[in-house]
Chains A and B, each alone.
Chain A
Amino acid sequence: MKYFLVATTIALTGLFVGSGVGSYFTSSQLLKQFQNIPGSPVILNATYDKDKHTITYTVSNPGTVPITVIEKAFVFTPGKESREKEYVISNIPANITIPPMSVTMIKLKLKEGTESLKYGDLIFATFTYKHSLSKDIYTVVHSFKYGSEKVEKATVNEGKGEESK
Chain B
Amino acid sequence: MSVQGMIQWLLVILLASALFLAFTGMFISTLLITFSAEGLAFIFGFLGALVFANKLLFGYGGFVITAEAFLANKEIDRKKLVRNTKEPEERTQNLSIPSLLMLWLQGLDYYRYAYYGLFTLMLILMLLSKFNLLGALIIGNYLEGAFWGASVVTFFVFTLEITAKYLMDKIIKEVVL
Residues of A that sit less than 8 Å from B by CB: 2-3, 6, 9-10, 13-14, 17, 20-21, 24-25, 28-29, 31
Residues of B that sit less than 8 Å from A by CB: 33, 36, 38-39, 42, 141, 144-145, 148, 151-152, 154-155, 158-159, 162-163, 166, 169
Question: Can you list the 7 inter-chain pairs with the closest CB atoms, starting with the nearest?
Answer: A28-B38, A17-B155, A21-B148, A6-B166, A10-B159, A24-B148, A17-B151
Smallest CB–CB gap between A117 and chain B, Å? 44
Smallest CB–CB gap between A27 and chain B, Å? 9
With a 10 A CB-CB cut-off, give which of A2, A10, A13, A24 has the most chain B CB atoms: A24
**Given known contacts A10-B162, A25-B33, is B148 in contact with A2 (CB within 8 Å)?**
no
Q: Is the interface of B mostly helix, strand, loop or mixed?
A: helix
| Cβ A28 vs Cβ B148 within 8 A | no
| Cβ A2 vs Cβ B151 within 8 A | no
Q: Find chain A residues with CB under 8 A from B151 CB.
A: 17, 20-21
| Cβ A28 vs Cβ B159 within 8 A | no
A10 to B145, CA, bound (A): 22
Q: Find chain B residues with CB under 8 A from A10 CB.
A: 158-159, 162-163
Residue of A nearest to B33 (CB): A25
Residue of B nearest to A23 (CB): B148
A25 to B141, CA, bound (A): 10
A10 to B159, CA, bound (A): 6
Smallest CB–CB gap between A161 and chain B, Å? 60
Q: Find chain B residues with CB under 8 A from A25 CB.
A: 33, 38-39, 42
Smallest CB–CB gap between A24 and chain B, Å? 5
A20 to B130, CA, bound (A): 15
Q: Find chain A residues with CB under 8 A from B154 CB.
A: 17
Q: Find chain A residues with CB under 8 A from B36 CB.
A: 28-29
Residue of A nearest to B155 (CB): A17
| Cβ B166 vs Cβ A2 within 8 A | yes
Smallest CB–CB gap between A140 and chain B, Å? 30
